[in-house]
Amino acid sequence: MKSIDKYLFQAMDNYPYCLEETIESLDYALSYDDKNTTALCLYARIQAEQLFHYEEAKNYYQQALGININAIEVYPFYIQTLLWNEDFEEAATLIDFALTVKGINKVEILMKKIQFLEIKREFKAIKKILKELQLLVVSNEYTYYLEETKKRINEKLALLKPKKKKGKKSKKDKKKKGC
């Protein structure tokens, strides 16, 4: 095992519970290889998830993908950061591209697409993706997510349906019913 791997494993093991040790391990890892996409991705996650520095996080993600466009570990976290930062066009483009990357977890990327569409209130498009996801899923790992997402989307659609007005019945309606 290379020394960099030791430090990467320490950083991944410590994140997010011990940030100081995570940073220290990442610094050691990047001193061995400053182009390590996993280390850059974890630095970006710290910037986005812990410090809410989305632009800084985006820089780390872009740097990682600039080194290796096939760094599949980067895409889900980068997309999430774009959604948090309300960079919706950029997120949509990245989602579409990520789905073409060989070896990527398409289920995870489609889950991000659902999140994006939910923010945009495109609920009918979500229903299509949920059907596609059900066909893609090959384990029960995502079953809870699928079920809860369906419930949430159906509830939102119900909220958007126009409510029927309860008005007074006319005299003719009352006579027809025998009242």
Q: What's this model's pTM, rounded to 2 decimal places?
A: 0.87
More confident residue, 137 or 178: 137
Cα-to-chain-centroid distance, residue 43: 18
Predicted confidence (pLDDT) per residue in 19-37, tens digit: 999 999 999 999 999 999 9
Give domain 3-176's CATH superfamily. Tetratricopeptide repeat domain (1.25.40.10)
* Chain mean pLDDT for the chain: 92
b or e along 25-59 (b: 16 or more beta carbons within 10 Å of the residue's beta carbon)?
bbebbbeeeeebbbbbbbbbbbbbeeeebbebbbe
Q: Is 105 exposed, middle or buried (0-12, 13-18, 19+ CB in 10 A)?
A: middle
Domain ranges of the chain: 3-176
**Whole-number pLDDT of residue 178:** 57
**Whole-number pLDDT of residue 72:** 98
Predicted confidence (pLDDT) per residue in 111-135, tens digit: 999 999 999 999 999 999 999 999 9
- Section 76-93 average pLDDT: 98
